[in-house]
Structure formats: structure tokens, C-alpha cells
Amino acid sequence: MAKYIGKRLIYMVITLALIATFTFFLMKILPGSPVASADKLSPEQRAVVEARYGLDKPLPVQYFDYMFGLVQGDLGISINQFKGADVTDVILSRMGPSAQIGFQGMVLGTVLGILLGMIAALRQNTWVDYTSTFVAIVGISIPSFVFASLLQYWFGLKWDLFPVALWNDGFMSSVLPSVALAMFPLATAARFIRTEMIEVLGSDYITLAKAKGASGSEIAFKHAFRNALIPLITVLGPMAVAILTGSLVVEQIFAIPGIGEQFVKSIMVNDFAIIMGTTIFFSVFLIVIILLVDILYGVIDPRIRLSGGKN
Amino acid sequence: MTQKFDEIPELPKGSFERITLDAKQAERITKPSVSFWQDAWYRIRKNKGALFSLILFGLIVIMSFLGPVISPYEPNAQTITHANLPPKVPGIENLGILNGVGTLGGEKVDLYELKNVEVNYWFGTDGLGRDMFSRVWKGTQVSLFIAFVAAAIDMLIGVIYGGVSGYFGGRVDDFMQRIVEILTGIPNLVVVILFILIMDPGILAIIIALTITGWTGMSRVVRGQVLKYKSQEFVLAARTLGASDSRIIWKHLMPNVLGVIIINTMFTIPSAIFFEAFLSFIGLGLQAPDASLGTLINDGYALIQFAPHILAFPAILLSLIMIAFNLIGDGLRDALDPKMKD
Amino acid sequence: MEKILQVKNLELSFNTQAGEVKAIRGVNFDLNKGETLAIVGESGSGKSVTTKSIMRLLPEQSAEFKNGEILFGGRDLTKLSDKEMQKIRGKEISMIFQDPMTSLNPTMPIGRQLTEPLLKHQKISKTEAKKVAIDLLRLVGMPKPELRMKQYPHQFSGGQRQRIVIAISLACNPKILIADEPTTALDVTIQAQILELMKDLQKKIDTSIIFITHDLGVVANVADRVAVMYGGKIVEIGTVDDVFYNPQHPYTWGLLSSMPSLDTEDAKLYAIPGTPPDLLDPPKGDAFALRSEYALKIDMEQNPPFFKVSETHSAATWLLHPDAPQVEPPLTVIERMKKFPGSRYYEGGAV
Ligand SMILES: Nc1ncnc2c1ncn2[C@@H]1O[C@H](COP(=O)(O)OP(=O)(O)O)[C@@H](O)[C@H]1O
Ligand SMILES: [Mg+2]
């Protein structure tokens, strides 16, 4: 296991270094000067500004400065939007709302999805099953921004049950965005658990448990549930990716002051430092999540745990 | 013994003549064997959801070409005086829907009457007075085009890469897999956005961004299948008979790997449709006046409060396409499943 | 002899998409107290379905009793509610399955899997149950049972897992133990060990055993009586000697001829031609006739009744009808019959 984690960590560092390098040079070849108001400045003024942000140094120097800063958690300085603010600070200051709706969406979606999938599997081929399968297909298919717009239109505008947008009503503000983000994990978990559960319920050890005289609920909860649930860990990674992707648009739609909304804004105004910083932040976040998920799977599943980590 | 003994029946003469059957006949009497593809087709036909989706999708494709043609208006023709008209379909207007009634200043009024519009717009018009009907179908066409081309490229690169990696194995495979491992480590979202940023926005940019790492998924499943089949007897036999590598790959491995390729593609397409719409929605997609479902949704979203129909039609269409594809994909996977089980 | 289980005219079908699979088409047999009854037959002949229907372990959505009864302790098991069945399963009747690799819950320590039926069916505490479980493990020959209670199935070998499954099945001293091909999935040497264990347990406990196998070699070793199944029916039933040395049904002849023996060591093994009947549309008459070189005209038209061969022995084949012609069984079978007093080829001596 330790060897496996070690190998994964090395890959993680390589991947991140590649992403950072790639991002850095990408930003350098992008059209347009990073100094937005450059045209209005005289050459002297411009030189001053560029010197302030280190843009006058040769490219390799800029690159190493950047990479060196990264290792220390310094993502650079915003030029256009937040004159001179630390990108790291900008991101950190916006982490709260993003984390809250992301986490709520993940938990809500996964829990409801597990329930839905369980019920569907236990009532296979009944209307309950068909309904839940339909909900799951719809949840996988409808993009989060469509779903978010619908929620906003009906629950916000039409029925006035929740704030239409903005982040000024505490928990209430987080409800609709969280629900919008919950759709994908909900649908994924429901489909996954249903399939797993049906497979597990048809397995020999369940027949043996029945042969021992276990009751329906004992079969479902003591024997089947755990075995169906453990592999769900493997889709937590894709779920996290979907939540992050969704957060860009959902935050935009509900005007949530989170990282995603900031990211989209930076793209609009070509704030390269923020784009780079956020890109790297996202990458680190997702890569770490996927690594953690793999490790978690190994810790929880006794088959993997005790055989010292296959794969 | 309580074995039940029936009365020994009286039987007509000749009942006890011996007869001979040959074993071949016995074989013939048993169930006829059907080929794998026949079997798969049988199963997909039984899957109502998949079949219905296939028909629905076919209709959508036809309409995406027909729609802009049968509409009397060009997708990009602006008639400012006809802006933000709700949908009106003659014939069903008395049912209380699609009757041209919209809200203005909080009141429900027939906007067509109000604005003195003589003609009908089936899906209404957008903020610039463009016909939503022709725009939505044109947008569908563009979205589908992007998705299909992206999926085709993913398939091509993925199949070749995965096939070569799995077929040659050893050092080649090791090296190629290290690259894939690193590429798959990079979040898709990040790659797509970064690539979109450095290219001129447009259809080409989106396709490149979607395919730049999108093929890794396909390459992985193809490699897995090739690894599984390449050491099987029929392949080894072909090799001993002196078949060339490319012949073995195309004639012997491909047909067996086809199932997973089809299934994988069926899931790549909706994912490409989603990403295109997603990029358009955050403003990285097509530039006006070009439209895809994503840009239409983005435009519609801006007017959600006053003219929800501008959002509704492209959103419904996008959702339908996504649902149809997921159902077709599920159906195909179930139908081709026996081969995928391992 | 006390009959502990009676299966009468059992008919059972699966309702599938392709149609009604008539898996059991009229099965009759009794199980006596303390005896071991072997059920043999090709795969697909309905052995597992028969025994699973006794335990009522078949999928309720598709499996349907069409006819007959299963009498156990004065009750008809086909009519019991699921609640009532739960009290019988694991306590009165228990079961061992074919594949020990998949029979145990992979994420539950084996100790808990062993104590589960004890806690379920007997009013004992957890510590007592644990003690019993350890004793059971010792009984089935598991070394250091105390240490292994906390381990998971994947930490055991296939043979060890089957021992655990056997221990679980014996936990509540069941009246009937059903072993569905308990050695088929194991290596040959392990097979022998598990068979030894089963034989050993036979002596120690007074449970009646239904032992399913497709391997006739195993039968002679463990069984008192044998039922031969074909196409969802029992075609011949009798004591081991009856069936091995005086077989009457052409299918039994086929099975015996295809059994490797010392004399046929180098010779090519006989294989019954053709394939088992399609149970979606079972043939009229004797289902085996299509594959048999002894087929009679009547076999194509009418299902043969059971003909009594002796007090302990009967077979369902028209060849036993008084009007039927005498046929010569295959040579290997005649060799066997020569040793059986009462058979028409008897040459003296004893089996
Ligand atoms: N759940 C089921 N649904 C449909 N058919 C089944 C089912 N289980 C068993 N069968 C059919 O019943 C017949 C007998 O199977 P089985 O009892 O498992 O044979 P075996 O003698 O090898 O144990 C087979 O033809 C099998 O296809
Ligand atoms: Mg069986």
C-alpha cells in the first residue's frame, strides 16, 4: 500500500508540474498584453508597471520565479481585476461559499442517490424502480446549468421560496445552488448503487445468507448494503469533478461569490494570473481528491486492505 | 419406497418398435444458435427506452436539417420590431398554450396583437427578433456536428493509440501508458478551458479542446480488450500462418473490440455535447451570430424572467438529446454486455 | 425407516422473457432419516433447482410452483410464508453451495458469518455463539480456529472456505443438509479432502444429506441411495448398488459408460451424444429418447411411467414395459450387471 501511494504521489507531482508549466507558457503566448490598460500608458509608465509585476525579466527567469512561488503556495499577483492582490488570497477569500455549496451538494446528492438506488434494487422492476431509473437518467443527462436555471426560475422567481441569487441570506442562499449541484451525484449514485445492489443480491453469498435463515431486511442491510456501498467510492472522484465543473456555471447563475464565478469572470477580462492560479488550484484539488478516494477504497475494502494493495 | 407407480397402460401394437435417430438430429432439435450481433440486436429491440430514444434522436437529426429550411425565417435574420415574441402555433392557440401570450409589466397580454405582428413564430423570437425555431434547429445541427466530429476524432486516436499500445505490449506499452497516466491525471475541465483560451473561439477550437485529452478513455478500453484478445488462439493461429501485424489488428482483433468502441462512443457523444454547451454558457463557445444549443441557452438565460421561452426550447432540446443518448448507450451496453463481462 | 422429507410430483417453471422454462417436470423422491441421497445428472438437468425449491431459494419473481408438494415435518414447504421458511432455513435444513470462493460475504469476518445462524435460531449469547463457532471450525478441521474468527474470506484457501461453509451449515444441527456439488469447484486433492470430511461428518452427526453431483465416482463413495435426473425429471432411483450394478434407464447406462474406471483407463471415454433438452419446449414422451440408441416408437409419444425393478429400485423407461423388446445395454454396463444378483446377466458372486 505504502509503495502504491508513493508511486501515486510521484505521478501527482509530475502531473502538477506539467500543468503548471503548460499553464505558464500558455498564458505567455495568449493574445493581448497582460496589462489591460497598456495602450493608454506611455512606454515609461508601461515599463514601470511591467517591472512591478516582474514582466520585464527574461522568460526563463519568470518561469522559475513562478514555479518557485508555486511550491510555496504563491500563485502570483492579479494584475487586471484586483490591482496587485495575491492570487492565493483572492482564491482563499472565495473558497467559503464554493466549499459550502459543493459539500452540501455532494452530501445531499450522494445520500439521496444511495436511497433511491437501494429502493430501486430492492423493488426491481416495479414502478418504484422505473421512476428512480428515470430520475437517474434525467439527472445524468440534464446539464447543471439548465437545471440551475430551472430551479432559479421556479423556486426563486415564480414561487419565491428561496433567494433568486446572491449570497446574503445565509443557509437559504445556498439551498438552490446546492440542489443544482446535487443532481449529478444523485443520479450517479442511484444508478451505481442500483446496479451494484442487484449484482450483490444475486451473488452466492447472499443465497447462503438466505439459506442461513436471514430475513429480507437482514439480507439487504447486513449483507448486501455494505458490499454495494464500498465500490461507490470509486465514483466519488468523477462526482467531485462534476461538482467542480458545475460550480463554474451554478455560481455564475446564482451570483455566488465563489471560486467558480471568479474564474469565469477572469476569463472574460483576461486576468491571466487569476486564470492560471485557479487552474492550478482546481488541478491540485481534483488530483488530491482522486488520490484520496483511491486510498480510502483501499482502507475500507478488506479485500484490498489486507492483500496489501493490489492494482 | 413410496415411488408412485402409474397403472401400466395398454398400448397399441407396434408402440415398442425400436427406432433409430442419429445424434445429429438430436442436435438439430435443440435451440438454434444465433450470432452474437443478432442476439444483441434482438436485445436492443426489446429495450423500449433505447429504441424510443433511437427514433427520437433520428427525428431530432432530421429536424436539425429540415427545421431551418421549413421555417420562413433565416436563423440570423433580425427583425427588431418582432423582438421577444412568445411562441405561437396556429391551430393549438385555443388550448391556452403556445398562443402568443406573454407577460408585459406583470400582466398577461397577447404580444402579437400588441406589437401588430401578423405572422406566427412557432418557438417565438429572441431579443433581436430572430426566429427561435430556425435558430434552435440550426443550433442543434451545430451542437451535434461538434459532438460527432469530436467523438469521431476521440475514437480514431483512442483506437489507434490503445490498439498499438495493447498489441505491441512490453516497452512500447509501458511508455505509452505512462503518458496516458499523466494525461488522465489532468482534469478535463482544465485542459478544455486552457486550450479554448489560446485558440480563436469557434467550432474548430471547441473540437480541438474536447479531443486534446478526450481520447484517453477510448484508448484505455481498447487497450484492455486488445490485451485480452491478442493472446487468444485464433489470433495466435493467424500469426503462425504469417499474417502481418496490421492484418491481425484489423481482421482479427477489431471485430472483437468493436463492441466496446461503440459503447464508449455512445457515451463520448453526450459528454461532448455537454462540454460544448458548458463552454458556450460560460462564454467560451461560439461567437455571435453563430449559435449552438449552448449559446442559445446562454442567451435565453439572460432573459429568463421576461421571455422564458428563449431558454426553454434549446434547454428542452439539449436535455432530450442527452437523455436519448444516455438511454441508447445504456441499451447498447446491456445488449453487448455478454462480451464485456470479464 | 422414517421419512424426513417427501417430494411429490413437484413441477416448477421459470417465467422468463423467452417463455416458460419448465425446469422441474414431475419429481418424486423421499429422503430417509440419516441417509445420504445422491442426485446425479448432467448440468442443466435440474438438480440445483430441485434442491433450491426445497429451500425456497429461487427468485420469487420468476420461479413458480406448478404442481406437487414438498412435505417436511408434516408441512408442505411450497405453501409456507417467507417468515416461516426463514425459521426452517439454516435451522432445520441447511445448504452448501458449489463455489466456496463466492459463497462467503467478502466484507464480513468469518466469525460473524458463523455465529449469524446461531444467534438467529438459538437463544444464546454472543460469547456462547462464538464458542460454538470455534468448536464448529475445529470440527471441520480448521487449525487455530480462535485466531481465524476475525479474518475475512479472502484470507482463506478454497478448501478452507468450503470447510467454513460446511461449518456454517452444521451450526444449528439441521435435520437435512443439502450439498450442491460441494467439491466441483475445487482442485482434485482438495476435493478428496472435503469428501473425506463429509464422510467423517456423516458418521458424527445424524443429519440426512442430499448430495448433488455430476460425478458418479463421488456417489459410490458417499451415498446410500442415488437418484438420476434428466431433463427436469428423476429417471431412475435406487440404492447405490441398484443404480451402479443393475441400471435400467438408457441415460443411466450412458452416464455409467462415460464414467472413467480402472479398466477403461486408456480407452477413449464415452460421451453421450447430443445435448440436453430445451426446457422451454421439452420434447413429448421420454426426453432422453432423442439421444438414445435404444429409443422406442412409444418414447416419442408418451412419457414413460415408473416401473418397479425391486423394492428399492425403480426406473422410468418404456424398456421395462412387459411388451418392450429386450435390448443389450452397452458392454461396460453388462460387465457391471454380471456382478449383481438378480440382474439378467448375473454370473454369480457379489458386488
Ligand atoms: N433463475 C432461472 N431462470 C430461468 N431458468 C433457470 C433459472 N435457474 C435455472 N434455470 C434453468 O433450469 C434448468 C435446471 O438448472 P439447474 O437446476 O441449475 O441444473 P443443474 O442440474 O446443473 O444444477 C436449466 O435449464 C436452467 O437453465
Ligand atoms: Mg447445479
Chain A residue with Cα closest to C166: A208
A310 Cβ under 8 Å from any chain C Cβ: no
The mean per-residue pLDDT over the stretch C206-210 comes to 90
**DSSP label of A232:** G
Indicate the residue type of C141: G
Coil/strand/helix, residue C6: strand
Task: Lowest mean pLDDT of B291-295, C97-101, C164-168, name the range.
Answer: B291-295
Determine if ligand 1 sits within 6 Å of the CB of residue C47: yes
Residue C99 contacts A where some CB pair is shorter than 8 Å: yes
Read off the pLDDT band of C37 (50, 70, 90). Answer: very high
Contacts of B3 in chain C (CB under 8 A): 28-29, 237, 306, 308, 314
Enumerate chain B positions whose Cβ falls within 8 A of a Cβ in A: 181-182, 185-190, 193-194, 197-198, 270, 274, 277-278, 281-284, 297, 301, 304-305, 308, 311, 315, 318-319, 322-323, 325-327, 330
According to the model, what pLDDT value does residue B31 have? 47
Residue B99: pLDDT band (50, 70, 90) is low
From ligand 1's centre to the CA of A203, what distance in Å?
Answer: 15
Q: What is the DSSP letter of C133?
A: H
d(CA B9, CA B6): 8
Instruction: Kindly identify the ligand whose nearest atom is closest to the C-alpha of C50.
Output: 1
CA–centroid distance for C46 within its chain: 10
Give the highest mean pLDDT range of B92-101, B178-187, C173-182.
Answer: C173-182
C168, containing H or E segment: helix C158-170
Average pLDDT over residues B227-236: 77
Which pLDDT band holds residue A182 (cuts at 50, 70, 90)?
very high
Quick: pLDDT tens for B58-74: 898 888 888 777 777 77
Contact yes or no for A260/A190 (Cβ under 8 A):
no
CB of C15 closer than 6 angstroms to any ligand 1 atom: no
- Mean pLDDT (chain B) is 77
Average pLDDT of the segment spanning B179-205:
80
Our CA-based measurement puts residue B7 at a distance from the nearest CA of chain C, in whole angstroms, of: 8
Ligand 1 atom with minimal separation from the C279 CA: 25
Which pLDDT score, from 0 to 100, does residue C28 have? 93
| Interacting residues of B140 by C-beta distance below 8 A, sequence separation 6+ | B60, B63, B64, B67, B293, B317, B321
Tell me which residue in A211, A306, A307 faces C90 most closely, judged by beta carbons: A211
Which of C12, C47, C49, C64 to probe ligand 1 with, by most ligand atoms within 8 A of CB? C49
> In this predicted structure, what is the pLDDT of residue C191?
85
Which residues in chain A are contacts of B274 at CB distance < 8 A?
143
CA distance, residue C318 to nearest chain B CA (Å): 8
| C48 Cα: distance to centroid of ligand 2 (angstroms) | 4
CATH architecture of A89-270: Orthogonal Bundle (1.10)
Searching chain B, which residue's CA lies closest to the CA of residue C314?
B3
Confidence of residue B24 (pLDDT cuts 50, 70, 90): low
Residue of A nearest to B317 (CA): A142
- Cα(C295) to ligand 2 centroid in Å equals 27
For residue B205, pLDDT beyond 50: yes
Whether pLDDT at A308 is above 60:
no
Position C119 scores a pLDDT of 92
- Kindly determine whether residue B29 and residue C283, on different chains, have CB atoms separated by under 8 Å: yes
* DSSP character at residue C91: T
Angle formed at CA B143 by CA B138 and CA B144, multiple of 5 degrees? 95
Chains with at least 3 CB pairs less than 8 angstroms from chain A: B, C
Please give, rounded to a whole number of angstroms, the shortest distance from the CA of A137 to a CA of chain B.
7
Query: C41 CB under 6 A from ligand 1?
Result: yes
Which pLDDT belongs to residue A169?
73
A213, A216, A230 member nearest C107 (Cβ): A230
> Structural domain boundaries of chain A?
89-270
Which pLDDT value is given to residue C92? Answer: 93
Average pLDDT over residues B194-218: 84
Cβ of C45 closer than 6 Å to ligand 1, yes or no, is yes
Q: What is the reported pTM?
A: 0.82
**B1 pLDDT band (50/70/90 cuts)?**
very low
Give tens-digit pLDDT for B303-316. 777 777 777 888 88
Cβ distance of A212 and C117 shorter than 8 Å: yes
Between B199 and A34, whose confidence is greater? B199
Interchain contact C227–A (C-beta under 8 A): no
Ligand of minimum distance to the alpha carbon of C63: 1
Report d(CA A244, CA A260) in Å as an integer: 8
Angle between helices B309-340 and B254-281 (to 10 degrees): 160
Which residue's CA is the closest to the ligand 1 atom numbered 17?
Answer: C46
Determine whether the interchain pair B26/C273 forms a contact, defined as Cβ–Cβ distance below 8 Å: yes
Q: Whole-number mean pLDDT of chain C? A: 88
Phi/psi at C307 (5° precision): -110, 135
pLDDT above 90: percentage of residues in chain C: 50
Q: Which residue, C84, C63, A30, C104, is CA-closest to B200?
A: A30
Give the whole-angstrom CA distance, residue C156 versus residue C179. Answer: 20
CB–CB contact B31 C307 (8 Å): no
Residue range C41-55: average pLDDT? 92
- Report whether pLDDT(C209) > 90: yes
Kindly report, residue by residue over C133-163, the tens digit of the pLDDT.
999 999 888 999 999 999 999 899 889 999 9
User: Is B54 a residue whose pLDDT tops 70?
Assistant: yes
Q: Which atom, in ligand 1's list, is nearest to the CA of C58?
A: 1
Q: A-C interface: how many C-beta pairs under 8 angstroms? A: 79
- Tell me what pLDDT residue B36 has: 67
Distance B148 CA to ligand 2 centre (A): 48
A110 pLDDT band (50/70/90 cuts)? very high
Instruction: Please indicate whether, in this complex, the C-beta atoms of A138 and B277 are within 8 angstroms of each other.
Output: no
Using a CB–CB cutoff of 8 Å, tell me whether C86 touches chain A.
yes
| Chosen from B2, B3, B5, B31 to mutate, greatest number of chain C CBs within 10 A | B3
**C-beta of C46 in contact with ligand 1 (< 6 A):** yes
Q: Which of A78-87, A117-126, A300-309, C329-338 has the lowest mean pLDDT?
A: A300-309
Phi, psi of C243 (to 5 degrees): -75, -35
Question: What are C76's three cell numbers?
Answer: 408442505
Mean pLDDT of A202-224: 91
User: Residue A239: its pLDDT value, please?
Assistant: 87
Strands C233-239 and C225-230: antiparallel
**A199 — contact with chain C (CB < 8 Å)?**
no
Using a 6 Å cutoff on CB, does residue C59 contact ligand 1? yes
Q: Could you report the per-residue pLDDT of B262-285, keeping only the tens digit for each?
A: 888 888 888 888 888 888 888 788
In a 3-state reduction of DSSP, which class is residue C301? coil
Q: Ligand 1 centroid vs C23 CA: distance in angstroms?
A: 6
B299 CB neighbours in chain A (<8 A) are none
- Residue A311 is predicted with a pLDDT of 33
Q: How far apart are the first and last CA of chain A?
A: 10
